[in-house]
Structure 1
Amino acid sequence: MSSRLQRVLLKVQKPGRYVGGEYNQVQKDWRSVKTRVALLFPEIYDIGLPNLGISILYDCINRREDTLAERSYLPWKDMEDEMRSASIPLYSLESKNPLTAFDIIGVSVPYETLYTNVLNAFDLAGLPFLSAERDETYPLIIAGGHSTFNPESLAPFMDAFFLGDGEAVMDDLISCWQEWKRSGGTKQELLERLAGIKGMYIPSFYNVEYSSTGQVTDFKTNNSHAPVQILKRFAVPLPPPVTRFLVPNIDTVHNRVAVEIMRGCSRGCRFCQAGHILRPVRERPVEEVVNAIEEALEQTGYEEVALLSLSSSDYTHITELTQAILDRFAGRQITVSLPSLRIESFSVDLMEELHDLRPSGGFTLAPEAATERMRRIINKPVSTEQLLQTAGEIFDRGWTSIKLYFMIGHPSETMEDVAAIADLCKQVYAIGRKKIGGRVKVHAGVSTFIPKPHTPFQWATCDNTDAIREKLAFLRNELRSPGLKMTWADPESSLLEAWLSRGDRRTAQVIRRAWELGCRFDAWQDCFRFDLWQQAFAECGIDPFAYSHRPRDLDEILPWQHLGSGIELEYLKHDYEMSLKGEIRDDCREGCHNCGILTSYAAIKTGIKPGEWNCPPTHPKKKVQQEVN
């Protein structure tokens, strides 16, 4: 393998993507371990190496003396051509062993536009696409990630899916595989053992029936080991953060230390899948975060630190944390960023506290909608007055640039709501112009609403594509002036994401056909071929608009309904009905709304009633934490 690689690396761009050997790489003797795991991220190295999920699993698995974890990424087109020509299979960077030599392959699928990349990785590795075509002589293939909370579009291709936090299941998975290996069992016996692990979904153990119009009419088990409902698994408390980050061979999308200070969100934005599937909120102690930063900087030499969460200023001890970071790292020539800040003065104060450590550039806010009516529908209760006041304070504190994230195509949206986006950007620009003059820049980032599974909007429909184009054209025209900038998501790419994220098992044949037609790297604008996806759906006799534009009845069976995020279906239905009335649901921190997290997990085993355990806990409930995991 190594000699063949050496011959092709000189023929490709960025050969550093394919050689491994990074600082902090873990390489173990294959003969000294019982289990070998390949972590496959189906994107190029530049994007995959900084992925925090892969970093966490790499660290978690390699801490076991009896197991190794190695990484594999998808090659770019030039390298793919050379690998196919030289008969080089997809391999791991650490040992250069082909993926077929591993015991377990863990596939990370954080977003739906990676689906054809998954198949391309399988093909490069020499793996049969269908789980039914792979016996016990092949690696066990398990997928996880946010997009797999509706895994049905990939169901025929995977042996198993895992719902939830990978750290919570990894030891159980490896121990289960080792016990099965010792027994000398069949693949069917392995899958039956896996079905007994909480959070593990074995798609071959379930049958789906459809109506003549394509709706799911029944979903039932065909194996006695398979539970009727699969609930996600989550880690409580969060394990210590990663500190030995891999230092890449080439420039990547993020060259930084990433410390997750909090997982989950209590805000309840109705469009946000992450905010729902990552509940409950779990926080790391201040001292643990600061010590992790210190160690990671020493281990990597990085000069940038990102404190990650879905809502950083909701972290209970955020003021204490920023002060501790200042005390520890002042004068160290590093920058610290706090993404995902709320629209309020407190967020500006936080960044001002980090004045000497903050990165240069702009300040980012995410109002998502520009009218208070629309914000009530999506449960983003921020007033225009509050947003403008915050913008003024940002300019007062020395920032010259503000980026505002908006989403168009929300349920019940009108052109007046869209026009308000342009008006709001102009108002922010006018405030900046008054305070700092011609240096001000306002950047509007506009995406398209996609109704995601496990959110209150999972019953909603996508906006008409022609209407989306009309709205984008209007905004481009309105924001075409000095000091204002607009970027936007391609509406056809958003439409494909809707088709795949809301798909069922029939969509798998479309994904395979799209790959056969040449679809790869669908998240890349210059690679995306919407015409080929349309052709694939047509050849498979499936109407894609049934996934994106057909209204769903609140009582119909959804393709992902057998998979649980821990939030009860009735809660999501009620929240959707509240959105239709423009009613706000308060932040969970103001009081428990009985969404089901406590009922599904802690309350079942401990008898603690909903509302008695705050999310996140403002006081320790050790008994609950022990039982949840």
Structure 2
Amino acid sequence: MRKLALNDEILLSIQQPARYIGGEVNTVNKDPKKVDIRFAMCFPDVYEIGMSHLGMQILYDMFNRREDIYCERVYSPWTDLDKIMREKKIPLFALESQDPVRDFDFFGITLQYEMSYTNILQVLDLAQIPLHAADRTESDPIVIGGGPCAYNPEPLADFFDMFYIGEGETVYFELMDRYKENKKQGRSRREFLEQAAEIEGIYVPAFYDVEYHEDGTIKSFRPNNSHAKETITKQLVVNMDDAYYIETPVVPFIKATQDRVVLEIQRGCIRGCRFCQAGNVYRPLREHSLEYLKDYAYKMLKSTGHEEISLSSLSSSDYTYLEGLVNFLIEEFKGQGVNISLPSLRIDAFSLDVMSKVQDVKKSSLTFAPEAGSQRLRDVINKGLTEEVILQGANDAFHGGWNRVKLYFMLGLPTETKEDMEGIAELSEKVAETYYEIPKEQRNGKVNVVASSSFFVPKPFTPFQWARMCTKEEFIERAYIVKDKFRQMKNQKSLKYNYHEADLTVLEGVLARGDRKTGALIEEAYKNGAIYDSWSEYFDNRIWMKAFETCGLSVDFYTTRERSLDEVFPWDFIDAGVSKEFLKREWLNAIDEKLTPNCRQRCSACGGMRFGGGVCYESKN
């Protein structure tokens, strides 16, 4: 029987002790002495969030299929255990073996969102691994980061030995093989990093120097080591059916945020929304075959006992075989109490027909994402969604028995005017009016329209990476304009409006487009108590503002400053598929309010098809 890293006294004194004991259904157990490489894979947030992450489950399963690798899981200890571990000097441990992370060969950390950055320092600190890569010795694990935020790794460059740019299923095994050979030959840590730097998609920050202009912008970014490449090219799966997937997902003891089987139906997106980083860096669109998905749906539901399956993608409606897959799931699991979740659907007649088959209409609400309140601004962001389509979708939904609708918007988008802001309330009102146009005897009670707005953050590798960002005060002022307009609506009792935290968004903007200098900011904030910043109850903006002052950095430099088209960005050394020229064209199209057709209508020469395996107009004609 395993000896737990935490004794009974500690486990009984903390919230949700099941977060830390391991042993869940479908976990992998190996003898650490019989493997060549031990890999601790960390999601730097609380267990319930991390256990819902598909990418980590895929890599966990993939690594453990090899007999010579033992991959174990690590999550951020919640604040109660964090305090105890520091007081009692208990090192951070992996769930499967309960062994200290510092004893592993690799410590892999997934970078899913900017507001987890202080938690990355938390797990390094608790693991008793030096925060700075430059201070690590031969006995320390190789710290590697990957995930969406690795597309601008520079704010975290000082803390990582290397980053993996792209999809994890492609070159990880080559990296592991080189590590084994390096170890076998008795070579040093630095020699392994040089070997790793030669692999496509691997970025070793120590092998690059940054030079700045007097105004703080980047003058140059160059390799300082002959093994390092000028450009790091993202890695991606070409044939989705050849990629690793999970047959036996780990099933948590306690309820996770996404407590269901997740079936990834495709990667990438054809839509080209100009604010969306994922839609750009995951290009081109690559689909799983219908037979592949049928097979994995059956295997995962059988191996987990879950009662819900979610079809995952950026835009589920664009999956070619969606109707066939949904019909199969309905027929195959009829009477077995299995629910089917279909996120990211466009609300049209087909989608509503599908949802009426798989949902209890009395309990569900439908989600529309107009993103902007006016057609002009929807054209600016290339949303490709007209007011007519939105209202027709709402009308179809209401006639189908739905009476609750969620509408998602963004405030602070480029070129936004007061009319665009007020349009959020006006469009919400029109949706409610659509319901009341239905004869009373055909309605399903009162209508409830909830509009929510997040605040716009310009992200790397999007056409809006050149855009200025609003200040906290501007965001709040815009939210008040929308809120005031809602009060003027005739159906205001049927309407509700929420908006995101402005100061949190401003900080996210700093970290999203930050350079290496922001690493000192993250470290200063962490040392002064910043942790779990993505949780509103723990986020303390005062700590961060003090850190800006201490580090001599300006919030406005990273947020509100206008960028010229020839500025060198911290992430320009990465080839993410979409070319900078394409992004510039789309930025100018946005300013001119011009729509760009989706990839199935016309190829826009974004550069993504260089990687092969994708679906676009060019590949079909």
> TM-score, normalization: structure 2?
0.95
Gap change, CA 1:479 and 1:293, over 3 Å in 2: farther
Q: How does 1:232-381 map to 2 (within 5 A)?
A: 232-238=234-240, 239-355=243-359, 360-381=363-384
Q: How many residues align?
A: 609
Deviation at 1:413, TM superposition (A): 0.2
Q: Which stretch of the first structure deviates more once superposed, 538-547 or 231-240?
A: 231-240
Alignment match of 1:562 (pick from 562, 568, 573): 573
TM superposition outliers: structure 1 runs of 4+ over 6 Å: 616-619
Q: Which stretch of the first structure deviates more once superposed, 530-539 or 467-476?
A: 467-476
Aligned to 1:609: none
Distance in 2, Cα, partners of 1:518 & 1:575: 41
SS of 1:161 mapped into structure 2: strand
Distance in 1, Cα, partners of 2:506 & 2:89: 36
Gap change, CA 1:437 and 1:325, over 3 Å in 2: closer
User: 2:409·2:452 contact (CA, 8 Å) conserved in 1?
Assistant: yes
Q: Which amino acid aligns with 2:616?
A: C
The C-alpha deviation readout for 1:576-600, integer Å capped at 9, x for no partner, is 111110011100111221111233x
Aligned to 1:458: 465
Gap change, CA 1:524 and 1:3, over 3 Å in 2: closer
Q: Which amino acid aligns with 1:541?
A: G
Q: How does 1:204-243 map to 2 (within 5 A)?
A: 204-238=206-240, 239-243=243-247
Distance in 2, Cα, partners of 1:385 & 1:614: 28
Distance in 1, Cα, partners of 2:407 & 2:39: 41
User: 1:335·1:359 contact (CA, 8 Å) conserved in 2?
Assistant: no
Alignment match of 1:541 (pick from 542, 552, 559): 552
Gap change, CA 1:359 and 1:103, over 3 Å in 2: farther
SS of 2:209 mapped into structure 1: strand
Deviation at 1:447, TM superposition (A): 0.4
The C-alpha deviation readout for 1:24-59, integer Å capped at 9, x for no partner, is 111111011111100011101111111111111101
Aligned to 1:81: 83
Alignment match of 1:409 (pick from 412, 418, 421): 412
The C-alpha deviation readout for 1:292-349, integer Å capped at 9, x for no partner, is 1111111111111110000000001112222222221222211101111124333223
Q: How does 1:452-531 map to 2 (within 5 A)?
A: 452-479=459-486, 481-531=492-542
Distance in 2, Cα, partners of 1:468 & 1:336: 37
Gap change, CA 1:370 and 1:4, over 3 Å in 2: closer
Aligned to 2:31: 29
Aligned to 2:128: 126
Q: Which stretch of the first structure deviates more once superposed, 267-276 or 285-294?
A: 285-294
Deviation at 1:179, TM superposition (A): 1.2
Q: Which stretch of the first structure deviates more once superposed, 322-331 or 557-566?
A: 322-331
Distance in 2, Cα, partners of 1:86 & 1:465: 40
Alignment match of 1:70 (pick from 65, 69, 72): 72
Aligned to 2:421: 418
User: 1:322·1:353 contact (CA, 8 Å) conserved in 2?
Assistant: no
SS of 1:198 mapped into structure 2: coil
Gap change, CA 1:290 and 1:487, over 3 Å in 2: farther
User: 1:336·1:359 contact (CA, 8 Å) conserved in 2?
Assistant: no
Alignment match of 2:194 (pick from 192, 207, 228): 192
Deviation at 1:465, TM superposition (A): 2.4
Alignment match of 1:150 (pick from 152, 157, 162): 152
SS of 2:170 mapped into structure 1: helix
Q: Which amino acid aligns with 1:56?
A: I
Aligned to 1:430: 433
Gap change, CA 1:276 and 1:152, over 3 Å in 2: same
Q: Which amino acid aligns with 2:315?
A: S
Gap change, CA 1:31 and 1:515, over 3 Å in 2: same
Deviation at 1:354, TM superposition (A): 3.4
SS of 1:588 mapped into structure 2: coil
Gap change, CA 1:574 and 1:617, over 3 Å in 2: closer
Distance in 2, Cα, partners of 1:315 & 1:214: 44
Aligned to 2:593: 582
Deviation at 1:355, TM superposition (A): 5.0
Distance in 2, Cα, partners of 1:488 & 1:243: 39
Distance in 1, Cα, partners of 2:251 & 2:155: 34
Distance in 1, Cα, partners of 2:5 & 2:416: 59
Aligned to 2:616: 615
> TM-score, normalization: structure 1?
0.94
Distance in 2, Cα, partners of 1:399 & 1:331: 23
Deviation at 1:353, TM superposition (A): 4.3
Q: Does 1:390 align with 2:393?
A: yes
SS of 1:439 mapped into structure 2: coil
Deviation at 1:21, TM superposition (A): 0.9
Deviation at 1:170, TM superposition (A): 1.9
Distance in 2, Cα, partners of 1:465 & 1:582: 26
SS of 2:565 mapped into structure 1: coil
Distance in 1, Cα, partners of 2:316 & 2:615: 18
Q: Which stretch of the first structure deviates more once superposed, 319-328 or 49-58?
A: 319-328
Gap change, CA 1:359 and 1:300, over 3 Å in 2: farther
Aligned to 1:624: none
Distance in 1, Cα, partners of 2:466 & 2:536: 29
Aligned to 2:402: 399
Deviation at 1:617, TM superposition (A): 9.6
User: 2:270·2:279 contact (CA, 8 Å) conserved in 1?
Assistant: yes
Q: Which stretch of the first structure deviates more once superposed, 307-316 or 243-252?
A: 243-252
Distance in 2, Cα, partners of 1:178 & 1:187: 12
Aligned to 1:14: 16
Alignment match of 1:448 (pick from 426, 441, 455): 455
Gap change, CA 1:520 and 1:7, over 3 Å in 2: same
Gap change, CA 1:617 and 1:261, over 3 Å in 2: farther
Deviation at 1:487, TM superposition (A): 2.5
User: 1:40·1:106 contact (CA, 8 Å) conserved in 2?
Assistant: yes
Distance in 1, Cα, partners of 2:39 & 2:362: 37
* RMSD, matched Cα: 1.8
Q: Which amino acid aligns with 2:479?
A: L
Aligned to 2:605: 594
